[in-house]
Amino acid sequence: MSTSDDVLNLPSLDNDYLENEESTDDLEKALVIAAADADARSNEVQYAIRNDDSEDEEKEINNSAKVPESGSGLKRRLSVENEDPKHFKTNEGEVIPQPSEGYGKIIATHYNSLEEKGLDERSKSRIFYMRNFHNWIKSMLINEYLTKIRDNKKHNAPIRVMDMGCGKGGDLLKWRKGGISHLICADIASVSLDQCKSRYSDMQNRSGRDRNPGNIYSIEYIEADCTKVRLREKYKDPSMKLDLVSCQFVFHYSFESLTQAECMIHNAAECLQPGGFFIGTIPDANDLLTRVRKSRLNSFGNEVFQVTFESDINKPPLFGAKYNFHLDGVVDCPEFLVHFPTLIKLAKKYGLRLVRKEKFYEFYKRMNSEGRHLMGNMKGLEAYPPYPGSHLVGTAVDDYVHAEEFLRNEGIERDRNARIGTLSKSEWEASSLYITFAFEKVKNTWAADGTPIYDI
């Protein structure tokens, strides 16, 4: 396991992937934090009653993209490195041909072919707790920004949301709990969207049987490649103003090319009202590069996940820096590094100002006390040591050394009733790759030629 010292000792690179960024792959720290903060929750882990959220998890333009501002480092780099390359050269000099129409079809086919797994099978999954933990992160992130939105609105004013890359509708129940009025669900994968539709109907039917059904939000679906299609033209009401755009575990697919990234950001920003937010979760490009460079191969991972780069890891391009991500039967798909400084520049062009960017464990630390109860209900952490008759999901020899160490440091390793909530090291190594981000749409003035001017 690496330490922050290893990261600081990395040679400086002549691309700016690490520019203005602190590399934070100090997993050790994250694991101990998780163990420490989860202490008080240990009983909840055992006695958690499934609430709606865990059930959720269990059932669970004409693109007008332009090269950004002249004179920016981005433009210079783009002209040299990002001509939508049809071939990539790996570090070993191997040339890998790329599909000429891009990766959209491959990505859609992958998601369309994922089986719907039953509750029983999912609870046996090696990444059961990690998936629940990610679901908790999404719930807390969504709640955080819905609360800000609601605080700035009149009581009972409608809240409209777009879920870009909604998949099978894993967040439908979160939207219901968030009390939104309308949801636009967009995804490239038709089969996933069908599953999303049937989950929404199930939720509607269930709510009809509730004693206090409350109002359930209205919904519309758009099957589209959000990196290539102007979504607004597909809205039932193209004049609709949105309060929130959520893009969970999706945005990195857009960094295949500048045109696609820009189209996706345009889609996120175009209909957001000033004060609205664009939130999401993506893998941290710095962390991915730091780890793959340390591996001395083009690949790293463990029994849970594997990342294999097909682009030059020493000089990755700003767009199209492709790697394959394999995650325990869930994802096995090409993805692209998101160079965050570039994302900030592109977002600025569309009136989006960065509000916050956090590694998952930073987000966890900030939200842990507020989200403690929900974490217990969602089974976002695993009890260590396991309760009698239960088994740990991790089987690698060092999967729980951090938890043992924590118990030892606390002097409670011999207490048979002492338990902490944590994740196995293999799951943390995957989970800690991710970051959350939030951008806010700012007000604009107009230039003489009619283009918007944002003060960012």
Ligand X SMILES: C[S@@+](CC[C@H](N)C(=O)[O-])C[C@H]1O[C@@H](n2cnc3c(N)ncnc32)[C@H](O)[C@@H]1O
Indicate the annotated binding residues.
Answer: 138, 165, 187, 225, 248, 253
363 near ligand X, judged by CB under 6 A: no
336 near ligand X, judged by CB under 6 A: no
Least distance in Å: CB of 369 to ligand X?
24
Among 249, 277, 319, 454, binds ligand X (CB under 6 A): 249
Of 243-251, 286-294, 311-319, 442-450, the segment contacting ligand X by CB under 6 A is: 243-251
166 near ligand X, judged by CB under 6 A: yes
CA distances from 44 to 24, 39, 434 (A): 30, 10, 26
Among 57, 144, 225, 262, binds ligand X (CB under 6 A): 225
Cβ nearer to ligand X, comparing 142 with 407 = 142
Least distance in Å: CB of 268 to ligand X?
12
187 near ligand X, judged by CB under 6 A: yes
Spatial distance between the Cα atoms of 382 and 133, rounded to a whole number of angstroms = 10
Interaction with ligand X in 109-138: which residues (CB under 6 A)?
111
CA distances from 223 to 19, 52, 188, 196 (A): 37, 27, 5, 11
Spatial distance between the Cα atoms of 50 and 376, rounded to a whole number of angstroms = 9
Spatial distance between the Cα atoms of 392 and 290, rounded to a whole number of angstroms = 30
Least distance in Å: CB of 111 to ligand X?
4
CA distances from 145 to 150, 267, 279, 384, 422 (A): 8, 19, 8, 33, 26
Of 23-31, 33-41, 94-102, 160-168, the segment contacting ligand X by CB under 6 A is: 160-168
Interaction with ligand X in 59-88: which residues (CB under 6 A)?
none
Of 21-29, 172-180, 186-194, 343-351, the segment contacting ligand X by CB under 6 A is: 186-194
Cβ nearer to ligand X, comparing 188 with 407 = 188
Count of residues binding ligand X (CB under 6 A)?
20
End-to-end CA distance of the chain: 39
Least distance in Å: CB of 170 to ligand X?
3
53 near ligand X, judged by CB under 6 A: no
170 near ligand X, judged by CB under 6 A: yes
What values do phi and psi take at 422, rounded to 5?
-155, -175
Cβ nearer to ligand X, comparing 261 with 407 = 261
189 near ligand X, judged by CB under 6 A: yes
Among 250, 337, 343, 374, binds ligand X (CB under 6 A): 250
Q: Which amino acid is at 413?
A: E
Least distance in Å: CB of 223 to ligand X?
9
192 near ligand X, judged by CB under 6 A: yes
Spatial distance between the Cα atoms of 393 and 407, rounded to a whole number of angstroms = 19
Residue 219 forms beta bridges with which residues?
183
The binding site for S-adenosyl-L-methionine comprises 138, 165, 187, 225, 248, 253
Spatial distance between the Cα atoms of 359 and 247, rounded to a whole number of angstroms = 16
Angle at 435 between CA 438 and CA 398, to 5 degrees: 160
222 near ligand X, judged by CB under 6 A: no
Q: HSE, CB side, 13 Å, CA atoms: give it for residue 92.
A: 8
Cβ nearer to ligand X, comparing 45 with 264 = 264
226 near ligand X, judged by CB under 6 A: yes
Q: Which of 288, 294, 183 is nearest to 242 (CA)?
A: 183
Are 74 and 345 in contact by the 8 Å Cβ rule? The answer is yes
Which contacts qualify for 114-120: CB closer than 8 Å, 24 or more apart?
114/192, 114/330, 116/168, 116/195, 119/58, 119/59
Interaction with ligand X in 260-319: which residues (CB under 6 A)?
none
167 near ligand X, judged by CB under 6 A: yes
Interface residue list for ligand X (CB under 6 A): 104, 107-108, 111, 165-167, 170, 187-189, 192, 225-227, 248-250, 253, 331
